[in-house]
Structure 1
Amino acid sequence: MTSHSLDRIKIPAGFWKGLLQFNIAAHDVIRKAQLPLAVLNETFVVNTAQFFALWQAFSELVNDPADCIVKLTTGMQTAQLPPLVLAPYHSRDYRDALIRMARYKQMCVPERIDIIEKGELCAIELEWPYADQPEPPMLVGVIMASLLEIGRRGSGYPMTAYALELSGHMSSNVEPLEKYFGCRIKLGAERNRLTLYRSDLDRPFISYNAELLEILTPALDRSLNEQQRSKSITEMVKWIMKRTLASGRPDIHIVASELGMSDRTLQRRLTDNYTSFKQLLTEARHEKALEYLADPTLDLKEVAFLLGYEDQSSFYRAFRLWEDDTPSNWRAVHLGFDAISEDSPGMPGLH
């Protein structure tokens, strides 16, 4: 599997709510991250680099990133936890909670949580498989603090960490973080690692709810399995399509050959995932269109060509169906500059 096929993140609603807590406008963060305003759309998908850019922009707009991490974590409302976090919160004990968090977290972001128990300690390490740049320290801090917070709330015990190592550097004093974690913090470390006392993993959760887990666990496991199966074929098909769009309309025979299967097998696999080759081609073109239009250096003729359309009018018609707008108007709205009339003047019904 190529990394590009799975490097997809939907910005969690909690991120935008967190900005409001510090009176920071979403538009300011998006602009500073140099991303299109379309990321505000709940269906918009970003990659790891773009996700990091949003968090880095957020950290640069707050006065005290370390204090911000603590406030975001302690201000978490248990009643508003999504199912993938609600299940860990109602686990049998802290170890069970961490294992569930590591398993279900991958449903929303391509992030791996490794739990290593050795001797009297337990190390939790974070890894972003598709990252080609360091993780923003504030993002890592929020993740680590959230893992400890679940243990504290679930057990009702004010547990502290043995150590916290961050590979990046904070632009503010880390004292609020050291007070929260109850340990010294090492910056500029080789990796991001939270080290806990292994004995704390055995602490039973007062929030344990067996009945709720019986409902949540099968549903989450089913969603995770379906997501993994779906990504293993549909995302790979879309990635191949996106790679070959500029050479013309992707052919099912070519895509099937690259996947090492027959046309009929590919069609059956897509049907099993409740989609079709035509539907995926539409999605691939739509996603790439938004990506290309977010690049102001590409004119609309180039965008149409890169998407594999024989002429601009076909691209405009398709885009109107996707966004109910013309490409130039969409670009103007989402990139924040006046529309340049590149829409062909001789095409009635396209303006």
Structure 2
Amino acid sequence: MAGVLTEPLRSDVLTRRLRSGVVIPAHPLALDDGGAVDLRAQRALTRYYLAAGAHGMAVGVHTSQFELHDDRGLLEEVWRLAASEVAAAGGDALLVAGLTGDTADAVAEAEIAAAAGYQAALLCGWGMAEVTEEALLDRARAVGEVLPTMGFYLQESVGGRRLGRDYWRRLFDLESVVAVKTAPFDRYRTNDVVQTLLEHDRWDDVVVLTGNDDTIVHDLITPYRREVGGTVREVRAAGGLLGQWAVGTRAAVQLLEKVRAATAEGAVPVDLLADASALVDVNAAVFDVDNDFAGCVPGVNEVLRQQGLVRTARCLGPDVLSPGQAELIATVRERHPDLLDEGFVATHVEEWLA
């Protein structure tokens, strides 16, 4: 699988595609019973997302298990595996590479991802709790010389950190930054990011993507407005890059279509708000809210295991399902089958695994 597998996009083209509305699942890592990467299941997951109509995939992010970055050869193999499936399907889906580590590590990963055909880099903050905001900005600047970048506000309970408005202001100064994923699971901190963007000269160049899996619909329907220089500016999330959308991906595409239709009409139907509450119900089980998100990554894999797409929910690191979490997941699968693509997956799972 040597060589570039998809054509690079100019930043302005990438921005337009993101702004048009995107469902980008955070691609899981499928392991076998022995803890090795299950390449058959890994391909099947990518095929599922493409068949579901996802507009792109993010690989090497939290749902992919950050421990994957400890083995750069394996990371490259997983990146290229997804890229080869996209190329085989026509190469239209966006490929986002999750990057970790200090500046040198992140740049090295960005170069590998770019060679594999990835079009953007998500700047993950995992393991960077003690690093200064200045160092994070230096890393973003250096990565931006290799790939267009996406900022990322990751919640603290899964390895993120608090970031001030000055950080976001200076990040938006970088012309290589095309998007920001807001995933602090905190309305005040999400507001910090978007209000800072509204005040910035690049407010219309940087696309907001929700990563708040607990408030997906609310993020998508909510406009943020600010009068600046006598002109009213408006920003809203154009889509999402989400671990929750690694399951129920076809339903997510349909949900985004409903949201865009509602916002175009200027009225949010009650049924869409009902979908929002049902999705929170699903997310609570999958992300293991009862145990402060301890089982969020294996929870995603457990849904896929129960559906037959992967063989095990195990992870590279210490994360495991919490007691009773598998049963809760089975319950929400029965309660909300449409939100989890139950019929769609059951019909096509053998085809994707072939």
The bucket for the TM-score relative to the shorter chain is: under 0.3
TM-score by length of 1: 0.25
State the structure with bigger RCO (CA 8 A, min sep 6), 1 or 2: 2
TM-score by length of 2: 0.25
**Structure with the largest fraction of strand:** 2
Larger Rg: 1
**Structure with the largest fraction of helix:** 1
